[in-house]
Amino acid sequence: MPLLPPLLGTGRVPADRSGGTAPDGVAPDGPGAYDDALDDAELRTARAALAQGRRQAARSLLLHTGDDWDRRGHRLTVLAQEPYAIAWAREWLLAEPGSADAGVLFALAQVHRALRGKEEPDRAREACAAAAALAPADPTPWFGLLQLARTLGPEREVLGVFAEVRRRHPEHHHGYHLLLARLAERPAGGRGAETHEVYDLAELAAAEAPADSPLAVLPLVAYAERYRVLAATGLAPADPAASGHWSGPRARRILGTCFDWWLEWEHDEHPRRHIDLNHLAFALSCAGRPAEAAALFQRIGPHATPAPWSYAHRDPCAAFREARARALGH
């Protein structure tokens, strides 16, 4: 497994930290209601039952998810965001001290609270370490640590924790998104507009992944994250379509490659596929390719996501609707 890029400096551009957050789904035609479960019907059912105090559905869901690590991480992250999750996970751990599912849910619930200033980060880190001891092969406790490091830690910590995630699951989708969001904040060093380490890393990861891996879309994610940083620091217009960010030769090549990958390999089973679809639609819209963007909007349906539509502090619902209307000719 090749090493991550060297630490060429831990400085980063102060930026809007919304990039790489949990995958929230937004109803683009509604009043702004989000559903981070996206199109996972089993997860929505288990979450609703848990809110009513019926816990067996969530326990069964996690049991049957098994070692599908991307799906497990997605489902645990969504459940951990619920206000009752931490109390239930604590009770579950008291009843079954050796339960890995209970331990990881408790850890991610602590992380969720810590990132919102409702819990001490060190307590969340301790919970993640305890969960990792219960499930040494599971990347999800380390993913919890990565969420903390991405927002609160130095870059060296981000890289170290990501290496642990990747050692357990080399194609950890959400983990890569968090890493790119953080590395996009490195200063460009005065080089060309299309030259940045985050682009190099994303292309390398995509090239090393299997042909059908959704990591193929990482280069577009890197471009979106870099735009987020540039717009937040006043180095790019707040309107991404007017920024020219997707008009350079490297951007055009990457966009064509990612769209071709989607045409050949797109599949319905990945739990975070709508994240990729939204990044593709966003990039195609910004690049002035409405016909191709229209195909993506048809596939997205109601499962828009705030990132990247919210970048440059835009209203994600309005930005999604406007781009979709342009693409579909409405």
Correct CATH for 35-169 of 1.10.132, 2.60.40, 1.25.40, 3.30.310: 1.25.40
Q: Where are the beta strands (DSSP E) in the chain?
A: none
**End-to-end CA, the chain:** 47
Q: Which residues of the chain have pLDDT under 50?
A: 3, 7-10, 14-15, 21-25, 31-32
Q: In this predicted structure, what is the pLDDT of residue 13? A: 52
pLDDT in tens, 125-157: 999 999 999 999 999 999 999 999 999 999 999
The domain segmentation of the chain, as residue ranges, is 35-169, 200-330
Q: In this predicted structure, what is the pLDDT of residue 268? A: 83
For residue 224, CA distances in Å to 29, 50, 190, 221 come to 23, 35, 19, 5
pTM: 0.92
Name residue 201's amino acid: L
CA gap 220, 279 in Å, rounded: 7
Length of the chain in residues, anyone? 330
CA nearest neighbour of 311 among 254, 236, 251: 236
Helix axes 218-232, 197-208, angle to 10 degrees: 160
Q: Are 132 and 142 a contacting pair, CB within 8 Å?
A: yes
Q: In this predicted structure, what is the pLDDT of residue 189? A: 72
58 three-state secondary structure = helix
Q: In this predicted structure, what is the pLDDT of residue 3? A: 46
Helix axes 155-168, 173-183, angle to 10 degrees: 160
Number of other CB atoms surrounding residue 74 within 10 Å: 26
